[in-house]
Chain A
Amino acid sequence: MDVRYEEQSTTVWPEDSLARVPYWVYQDTPNYKREMERLFEGATWNFVCLEADIPNKGDYRTNQLGDMPVIVVRDANGAINCFENRCAHRGALIAFDDGGNVQNNFKCIYHAWSYDLCGNLKGIAFERGINGPDGVMRGGMPAGFERDRFSPRKLRTTTLCGLVFATLSPETPPIEDYIGADVLGRIKRVLNRPIRVMGRFVQPLPNNWKLYVENVKDTYHASLLHTFLTTFRISRLTQGGGVLVSPDGGNHSSYTIGIPEGANADAYKQQQIRTDQDGKFALADPSVLDSVEEFGDHIQLQILSVFPGFILQQIHNCLAVRHVVPRGVDKMDLVWTYFGFQDDSPEMNRRRLKQQNLVGPAGFISMEDGCVGGFVQRGTLAAADHVSVIQMGGSTAESQETRATEASVRGFWKAYRRHMGY
């Protein structure tokens, strides 16, 4: 079977359209391996941590670029370095925790090889051998061993509004060019001052990582799947808004503007959409939706993604970054970091704590995104050769002033196919 998939996934996309995607792309193990090399280790910027996670010299965090474990660390000059979390000797993890602080070096616990904060191999235990009882040195590394040639792979890092990204490729363009002006503006809109982390949770999902990224970019589904969004007018297709897609397709920002719907106010009722429970479902304590205008532009919901696996979310005053970590062909981790700002008042802090009920694994809105990817994964098990139809709003991937479109999903496939060579 592997051979058959290999043939499929290395030959041609079934139809030369962004609006058709074959289901083997969520199932095929050789394809997954290629994604690791061509996407995550390729010319992409991957979210690795927040600057707030590593404020001081020696502060580090561990993360992954696809399957590749990495260490992100702030050095004595204040620069942020990133290198593969793999000892040059036998390949053991150099750091095996979420993060912490080291003085001047990392030391592998297996054989005590040590690395400076740039990831350079600096010390080899008993490099010159050991004196025997007869006073003769024995063992150790050969005299010609060139220590400088053995270090974990080093990544380039860049920071943007307190976010830290890393790339293994020398080809990846500067982050601003990579993201594109429109989407970049929407990152700066939210991350406009120092943040503070409020909580972290991990949501393992029973689906290929791309199904979640597509879900995030899918502006069409939100008010149809999520009753909470629709009933409480957090986001309806009839409200003002749209979707921005970067020119290369990979990055997006969708937004809902909190203004009355006017003539369209009854559109969901007319179509008998399940999620419109207006009048039928009410909150006993609506304080969960008590929000204030925070960014001065009436945008009450903004979901933003940076290819391949970074997401920034603003739903009213509920702010989070989400990181998509692949865990094999049919599993992934969604890592949630809730945040607020350092200058939040106690009232704003409480407001954010309450609104966090909307998102995360138990989120009134987000919990449904946790299961729907698994439904696709299971629904397509016997349909590797079939395709999904992604044609709302046409077959192209440009920005649109409506969310009744799948433009940014097609944008994902545009970027994906370019990186993968499909």
Chain B
Amino acid sequence: MDLARIVELNAVYARVIDTEQFEEWPKLFHDPCLYKLTTADNVAKGLEGGLIYADTRGMLEDRISSLRKVNIYEGQRYRHIVGLPVVLGEKDGETETETPFLIVRIMREGQMDVFATGCYRDKIKPDASGALRFHERIVVCDGRRFDTLVAIPF
């Protein structure tokens, strides 16, 4: 798989979140899929639970409609800084990659903090139209502390 296309997928992913085009976010996944937000600690100990766990595109869409219409939280947005992917292997037409990220959270009153760092562990394959999409994206955070709340996905 062309590395430049994987880099582009990651860049689009970060951009749709950081520019608050949240409705575009589920479209970057296959259906069914697996999106999980967890920590390096939990992964190391073999603990399966996640802060967010979605195994269909519908569940991803529900995350977005909930954050748009339902959940109460103070205004905030993210800035993703996404590193370069490493290709770990190819299997069954899927490419496995790992990509480091850093997320700065910008709060309503202007405070900027490093909110999370970690790596994306992905399985990527093209959809029917040939566009690359995530079949699996496990967000493995380096730390286990999540300040106040996580409204927007990583």
Contact = CB atoms under 8 A, between A and B. Distances in A.
Contacts of B48: 198-199, 349, 353
A284 B148 contact: no
Interface in A180-200: 197-200
A361 B51 contact: yes
B8 interface: no
Contacts of B66: 228, 364
Contacts of B145: 202-204, 333
A203 B70 CA distance: 21
A199 B47 contact: yes
B58 A362 contact: no
Nearest to A202: B145
Given A357-B53, A361-B51, A364-B70, A201 B65 contact: no
A362 B51 contact: yes
Contacts of A370: 148-149
A291 to B, nearest CB: 15
Given A287-B59, A367-B73, A205 B148 contact: yes
Given A228-B66, A284-B58, A284-B61, A362 B146 contact: yes
B52 interface: yes
B49 A361 contact: no
A371 B73 CA distance: 7
A201 B146 contact: yes
A349 B47 CA distance: 12
Interface in A361-393: 361-362, 364, 367-368, 370-372, 374
Contact of B147 (A204, A228, A349): A204
B104 to A, nearest CB: 17
A374 B65 CA distance: 25
A284 B149 contact: no
A273 to B, nearest CB: 13
Contacts of A197: 47
B37 interface: yes
A277 B47 contact: no
Interface string B20-46: 000000000000000001110110000
A246 interface: no
A360 B39 CA distance: 13
B72 A277 contact: no
B129 to A, nearest CB: 22
B120 to A, nearest CB: 17
A356 B150 CA distance: 14
A354 interface: yes
Contacts of A356: 49-51, 53
Interface in A330-350: 333, 338, 349
A259 interface: no
Interface string B54-79: 11111101100110011111100000
Interface in A247-297: 277, 280-281, 283-285, 287-288
A284 B48 CA distance: 24
B49 A368 contact: no
Q: Which of B41, B55, B146 has the most chain A CB atoms closer than 10 A to its own CB?
A: B146
B151 interface: yes
Using C-beta atoms within 8 Å of the partner chain, give the interface range for chain A: 35 or more
A40 to B, nearest CB: 21
Nearest to B151: A367
A367 B58 contact: no
A65 B59 CA distance: 39
A281 B62 CA distance: 10
A28 B47 CA distance: 39
B47 A368 contact: no
B150 A362 contact: yes
Contacts of A338: 49
A227 interface: yes
Contacts of A277: 69-70
Given A199-B38, A287-B56, A362-B52, A371 B62 contact: no
Interface in B104-130: none
Interface string A284-318: 11011000000000000000000000000000000
A287 B145 CA distance: 28
Contacts of A371: 72-74, 148-149
B150 to A, nearest CB: 4
B144 to A, nearest CB: 5
A225 interface: yes
A411 interface: no
Contact of A227 (B37, B71, B149): B71
A199 B50 contact: yes
Nearest to A356: B49
A206 B70 CA distance: 22
A362 B42 contact: no
A360 to B, nearest CB: 5
Given A285-B58, A287-B56, A367-B150, 4 more contacts: A203-B147, A228-B71, A281-B69, A362-B149
19 contacts: A199-B42, A199-B48, A203-B149, A204-B145, A231-B70, A281-B65, A284-B58, A285-B62, A288-B62, A353-B53, A356-B50, A357-B52, A357-B54, A361-B150, A367-B149, A367-B150, A368-B149, A370-B148, A370-B149
